[in-house]
Amino acid sequence: MPLRLWASRGAPWTAAALALVGLALVARFVDVSPRVEGDFFFADDDPQMQASQGVAARFPSSSQIILRVEDLASDRAAYEERVGALTEDLLAVEGIAGGYSIATDDPRSPLFGRILLTPDSAATNIILSTDDTDPEILVPRIESVVAAHASAELGVITSGVPVIVELIRRSLYRDLVVFSLAAVLVFGLISGLVYRDAALVVGILATCFGAVALTLIIVQVIDVPIGLLTANLVTIVFVLTLSHTVFLTTNWKRRAAVTPDRSEALSQGIHDTMEGSFWSMAATLLGFLSLLVASAKPLRDLGIAGSVGTVTGFFTAYTLYPAFLARWAKVRPFTDSVLAQGSAGGRRGMVVAIVVVVVISAVGVFRVNTDPGLLTYFGEGTELREGLEQMDRDGGSSTLDIVVRNAEGGRLDAPETFRELEALHVAIESDSVVGVALSPTVLVAHARTLPLAGFLPVSVLLDLASSPRLGGVGLTYITPERDQAHYFLRMRESGQEDREAVLARMRGYVTGAGLEPVAVAGLYDLQAQLGRLISSSLVEGIGGLMLLFLGVAAAVSRSVGTTLKMWVCLFGIPAVTLGTFGYLGIAVDIITSPAANVALGLGADSMIHLVVRVRRLTRAGDSMPWTHGVAQVGRAVLGATGIVAAGFGIFVLSTFPPTQRFGLAVIVGTAAAAALALVVLPGLARREGGTPSPQVAA
């Protein structure tokens, strides 16, 4: 029945129309604008978020936007007037709950001096407290006010978690639109150069568009957001679908060249490809499903969306694409690849060379940095990155919360215990990684600058600071019961130390002051936890994936020896990918980390299709199955590798460094997979004799 449908005159038109309808539905009903939250590394229900949520519940505060305002005219009086005007307009912005600047507060205060002054005497800060307004709405309002005050006399740099979140969202959206469209053009161009058949190009693009549309619709229905990782979903689904079409096209061309009946040639081509495609789909599906055990929400979202895309790519490749082969594609003479030619000694030399590269690369895996700084999300040398680095040097860019208590459970406003809090603040503030440090001791020091306040005890000063008349600011730093104190720090990311070592040092300061740490939270701590999760997911995720792939390899090869050789070759894909990053010092962040899983799933395609072909040739009595298998599959492997590399190569041109790193990782992994599949695996498995025959039916 399907063959009759595909062979009908209107089949390719119907397939193309279905793809267009799918795209129209996406444009009408699917929200593809990336969503990035303030704690964009984790979901609210993640265990890693519990400490941060606990601190926020005990010490209520709002997100902050920090503006560094520099005097470019060396006119202090005029500068202060301009800062005052800018502050007034910023405080009038809807979504701003309050703020401080040298125009509203005395920078000589121990409190305001820390948050308003910078190491550069020509620059001061404006600190804005925000409400729950979405950064996508709030940040443009802030930018509009800043633009209205911009001049040759005033230089303004804006930072803070809401700003960073919005900048990341914009980068993701730009990549989603620009690079998805560019990838489509590149895929179409490369397909045209490879096949030189407009019908095939139209068929491939229609099939891939159909898969993308179906994936986005399903993802929308099951409420998986477009976020940090799923912003690359369009290109990923395109590549997954393309892989099936490339192998199906090659097998159809080989069959059509010797079979006059197009329907019979299509049936044979599908038969030759379907098993390998199914197990390739299964291997890639396992790769995405392995991300579901991750604690980081973006990884889980990619796992769900990628799993959907894997299935829809397989489904559309075998429902839409055959119609174009059955009706429109041109039948031309077909010759197998020449990849299998060469002397045995030459082949052994290539095998040894590739194995040496894999082994050397594997050593580099131990040098991979899975805990990059927050600033690495923005390109080096760009105006944005330089501005954020300046803010980071001034007072830090990543927040850290430390909650402490008296080791014996006593009140913290007792004179002796409060001296311990003061000693802790001095120790923390003297650490070079700490930019700005705020605590109850700073609040009390500020209060003592007020008239007659120096005669009041600490307990009374804290009561006054916690009263509604003063906005309850004291409750941000100490509990009403006076049993826990909150230290709010801004940590420097430039020239970053190992976060684990820094956090251990902070805990050491607490115990060294005679206090006990209750909680450590904030963005800086979440990034440290994320680094640990990325590291463990690379080990456990890829390790678990390899065990699952062992079952796939056994099902495909039905031979213990070939299964083990496939398995060994598959290990080389993440080894080369991560090892290359380790040697080059390229960070593996939350966005880059899934690339090893994606490359492993894509790389398995080549080996699976090759082994399926070899098994069938062996069953047909071919005396040189590996030689002929490489010859018959090699063209498709190289074509798929070239298309994948070209598509993901576009990512390297992104202005968003994590997207660049993701694309580079997939390219390296896919290239390694092709070499391992076409050279190393046949070299390890080949035990052949006899005379090659030009064609063996299977």
Domain range list for the chain = 2-21+167-367+528-685, 64-159, 383-521
pLDDT number for residue 346? 56
Q: Among 140-144, 153-157, 214-218, which is the least confidently predicted range?
A: 153-157
Q: Kindly list the distances between the CA atom of residue 501 and the CA atoms of 327, 452, 506, 525, in Å, as whole numbers in the listed order.
A: 65, 43, 9, 12
pLDDT number for residue 338? 57
Q: Among 255-259, 392-396, 671-675, 692-696, which is the least confidently predicted range?
A: 692-696
Residue pair 290/545 in contact (Cβ under 8 Å)? The answer is yes
542-557 helix and 262-289 helix, angle to the nearest 10 degrees: 150
pLDDT number for residue 289? 85
| 78 or 41, greater pLDDT | 78
pLDDT number for residue 339? 58
Q: Residue range 546-550: average pLDDT?
A: 85
pLDDT number for residue 190? 79
pLDDT number for residue 639? 80
| 453 or 101, greater pLDDT | 101
- Taking only the tens place, the pLDDT of each residue in 554-579 is 999 888 989 999 988 988 999 999 99
Confidence band for 336, pLDDT divided at 50, 70 and 90: low
Confidence band for 691, pLDDT divided at 50, 70 and 90: very low
Query: CB 364: neighbour CB atoms within 10 A?
Result: 17
Q: State the Cα torsion 563-564-569-571 to the nearest 10°.
A: 110
pLDDT number for residue 692? 41
pLDDT number for residue 209? 92
- Taking only the tens place, the pLDDT of each residue in 287-327 is 788 778 776 777 788 889 999 999 999 999 999 999 998 88
pLDDT number for residue 695? 45
523-536 helix and 499-512 helix, angle to the nearest 10 degrees: 130
Q: Among 137-146, 238-247, 601-610, which is the least confidently predicted range?
A: 601-610
466, pLDDT greater than 90: no
Confidence band for 638, pLDDT divided at 50, 70 and 90: confident
pLDDT number for residue 298? 78
| 404 or 685, greater pLDDT | 404
pLDDT number for residue 343? 46
Place of tokens 């009595």: 621
pLDDT number for residue 690? 42
User: Which of these, 657, 482, 504, lies nearest to 587 by C-alpha position?
Assistant: 657
Q: Which of 222-231, 326-335, 350-359, 525-534 has the highest mean pLDDT?
A: 350-359
| 429 or 150, greater pLDDT | 429
Homologous superfamily, domain 2-21+167-367+528-685: Multidrug efflux transporter AcrB transmembrane domain (1.20.1640.10)
Those residues with Cβ within 8 angstroms of residue 495's Cβ, 6 or more apart along the chain or in another chain = none
- DSSP codes, 236-297: HHHHHHHHHHHHHHHHHHHHHTT-S-HHHHHHHHHHHHHHHHHHHHHHHHHHHHGGGG-SSH
Average pLDDT of the chain to the nearest whole number: 85
Confidence band for 693, pLDDT divided at 50, 70 and 90: very low
| 274 or 539, greater pLDDT | 274
- Taking only the tens place, the pLDDT of each residue in 410-434 is 899 888 899 999 999 999 999 999 9
Share of the chain above pLDDT 70, in %: 93
pLDDT number for residue 40? 55
pLDDT number for residue 426? 95
Q: Residue range 332-342: average pLDDT?
A: 63
344, pLDDT greater than 70: no
Q: Among 177-191, 412-426, 663-677, which is the least confidently predicted range?
A: 177-191
Cα–Cα distance for residue pair 303/300, rounded to 1 Å: 5
CATH class of 64-159: alpha beta
533, pLDDT greater than 50: yes
